[in-house]
A and B are shown apart, each in its own frame.
Chain A
Amino acid sequence: MIQRIAALNKFIVDIYGPARILADGVIPIDHVRGCPQYRIEMQGVSIPLDVPVGICGTDLVRVSDGFRVLEDNLRVPSGVSYMIANRQATKTNFRELYRRYRVRDVEKYGTLLYETLREFDPNGSADPCIVLLTPGVFNSAFYEHMFLADEIGAELVEGRDLLVNDGFVYMRTTSGLRKVDVIYRRIDDDFLDPLFYREDSILGVPGLMHAYRKGNVALVNAPGTGIADDKSIYVYVPDMIRYYLSEDPILQNVETYLCREHEDLEYTLDNLEQLVVKPVGGSGGYGLFIGADKTAAERDEFSKQLREDPENYIAQPILAISRAPCWIERNIEPRCVDLRPFILTGKESRLVGGAFCRIALPRGSLVVNSSQGGGAKDLWVVKN
C-alpha cells in the first residue's frame, strides 16, 4: 500500500505539473484532462511536501489467490473512527478473548494523524494551528469529524468559522482571529471555496484557494486528488507504479474493462451477466449494476445506456470475495467483507495495524458500503 500511495502521489504532482506521464504516452491525455475530477485550478500549484494525498483509505478485498485493490479513496476517505470504536467495543465486551491474543493497536491512529498533519505546516513550526473543516452537524460523517478533531486536539471548524485576509486563513476565536496553518478538510472540492468552485457553496471559505495557492495554508488532502481515484484512472495505477518507481506492483488491481475502449465495451456488453458495471465518478456503492442480479430485460435496458455513454462506465468481474462469520439475528452466518486500511503520508508513510472492516449485511450481497446498509467488524492484526 505504501508503494501504491507513493506512485499515486507522484502521479498527482506530475499531472498538475509537467505532466510527463501524459507526454510519454503512459496514460492517454484525454483520459486525464477530460476527467471531471481533473481540477485545472491546481495546475502549477506547489503542493506542500509534494504530497497531495496525506490520508488515503484503500479498499482491499481478498480473493482465492490473495488481496486485490478494489479502489483508492484519495479525496476525503471516511470510516477510521469506526475502526477505533469497533476496537473499543471489542475490548469492552470480549476482554478475555482479546487478552489472549497479541493484537496490534489501532488506537494510536490519532497520534499518527497529528504527526502527519503537523508535517504539512507551511511554516514548519513546532506547534502549528491545525483545524478540521467539517460540513457541519448534518453531515453523515459528523461523528467521525468530531471524534478525529478530539483525537488530534484540533478545533472542529465549519466554513463560517474561517475567513481569509491578506492571503492568510484565520479562525474566529474568543481571543480574536487566530492564523490557521493546516486544514484537514472533510468537505469535497466542489464546496471548498465558492470563488473557485461552486459559487452556491455555503460550506466553504471564500478565498481559501487563494491562500492555498500562495502557500500560506496547507490543505490535506489537496484539492484535485480525485483525479487519481477516478475509476477510469484506476486501471492505470500498475503502470504508474512501474513508471514512477520502476518497480512491479506488489498489490494487484481487479481486472477492469474501460467501456470507453471499443473492445472492452463489446466484451462488457457480451458478458454483462458476469460483470459489475460502475460509473467512473461514483462512490458509496451508488449506481452499481451487478449483472447477475438483474433480469434479461434489465440487462438489455442497461446495455442501451452503456452504448449511449460508454465513457462514464467501467466493468469488473464479479469477484468471489472472502467471507467472515457474522452474528446475524442470533445465528452465525457468512457475509462478504472488505478492508479499508488507512495510510497516512507526510514526510513518510505511516499505518496502524488494522483497518476499517466492512461487511455486506444482506445475505448474498456484495455491497459493503455503509450508505447501502453495510455493517462493520473489528479486524485484528495479530503480532507474530
Chain B
Amino acid sequence: MLARSAHGLYWIGRYLKRVEHTSRLMELQMNALVDCTWDQIHFGWLRLFRHLKTAPHNEELVNWEEHGDSWGLTDSFALADELSFVMENESSILSCFTMGRENARQMRHCISSEMWICLNKAYFEIRDLSIEDIWTKDSMQFYANRVQDVNTFMGVCAATLYRDERWEFLQIGRLIEHAQLMLALMSFQNKSTDSVEFEDLEHYDWWSLLHCFQADEAYQHYFGAKIQPELVMNMLVADQLLPNSIDFSLNQIADRLSALGEAPANRHGAMANRFIGRLIALIRFEWPDAENKTRMLTLAESLALKLHEHITAAWFNYEVDDSVRF
C-alpha cells in the first residue's frame, strides 16, 4: 500500500489510543475531585501533565505546579479544560480526536465506511462541547463515553477492516502509543513513590490505576484484596496476560512487525526488529530483578521512541536509494 496511507493509519491508531488513555485517567481524576484531598488531586494533575509531556497553555496556570494554599478547584477546572478541549494542546482529547479524524479523512479510501461513520459520529458529539458543558453535570460520564467511543471504533475496525497491511499499521500505531504512554506513566508513578514530595501519598491510588487499566479483577483474583505497590507495578508492566500491560503491547508489536515482513528500507526495518526484541528482553528478563526500576523504565521509554523512529524510516519516510523497486 501507499506509504503515506500506511503512515496515516499508523497515526490514527496513535491518536485514538491517546484519546482513550487520557480519557481513562481523566475519569479517574474527576472521581478524585469528589472525595480526595487537595494533595491527592494535585498529584493526579501532575501525573497527567508530566507523563503526557505537556503543559497548560492558559497563562494563569503558569505556576500551577507550585502547590500552595491558594490552589483549588478553579485550577482543576482549567486543567481539565486543557486536557479535554484546548486545541492548542496536542495532547488534549479534542485535539487528538480531531487529528485522528483528519488522518482518517485523508485515508477514507483505506478504511471501511463503517469505521468512518463511527469515528465521525464520535467526533461530532464532542466537537462543539466545552468544559462548561460537562463540568457540573456529567464529567465522569463524558470521559467514560470517550473510552467507549474508541473501543467501539476499534471493534468496528476488527469487524470490518481487511486483514492486510492496513490492519497491521493501525494496530502498530495503537500499540506503540500505548507502550510509550504506559512506560511514561509507570516511570512517573515509580519516581513519585520514592519521592519526598509525595511521601504522604505512598500507596496512593494504586488501586485506581489498576481499575483504570482494567486490571483490578485479575489482580484480586490472583493476589487478593490487599494492594501491594510492587505487585501492581509488575502487573501493569510485565504481566504477559494483561492486555493493557506494557509487555503484552510489546509482544503484539513484535507479532505485527513480523507479519509485515521485510521493509522497503531494510536497514531500518532490521533496526526496528532489534529494538522491539531489546525492549521485550528488557521487560521480560531484566525488569523482575532490576534494583532501579525508574532507570529501567526511562531506558525502555527511550528505546520505544527509537522504535517509532525506525518504523517511520523503514516503511513511511524511507530514502529512495535504500528502497526496493518493483
Contacts and interface: CB of A to CB of B under 8 A. Distances in A.
A91 interface: no
Chain A binding site: helix, strand, loop or mixed by DSSP? strand
A174 B323 contact: no
A137 B4 contact: no
A253 B6 CA distance: 48
Interface stretch (B103-111, B206-214, B285-293): B103-111
A179 B326 contact: yes
A172 interface: yes
B3 A174 contact: yes
Contact of A176 (B5, B6, B106, B324): B324
Contacts of B2: 155-157, 161, 171-174
Chain B binding site: helix, strand, loop or mixed by DSSP? helix
B324 A177 contact: yes
B62 interface: no
Interface in B144-168: 165
A217 interface: no
A300 interface: no
Given A161-B2, A161-B4, A172-B318, A177 B264 contact: yes
A333 interface: no
Contacts of A170: 325
B34 interface: no
Contacts of A156: 2, 109
A41 interface: no
B241 interface: no
Contacts of B109: 146, 149-150, 156
Interface string A144-165: 0010011000011110110101
Nearest to B3: A172
A174 B1 contact: yes
Pick from A137, A163, A170, A176 the residue with the most CB of B within 10 Å: A176
12 contacts: A146-B109, A155-B1, A157-B2, A161-B3, A172-B2, A172-B3, A174-B1, A174-B316, A175-B324, A175-B326, A176-B325, A177-B326
A157 B4 CA distance: 9
B99 to A, nearest CB: 13
A149 B4 CA distance: 15
A176 B326 contact: yes
Nearest to B2: A155
B315 A174 contact: yes
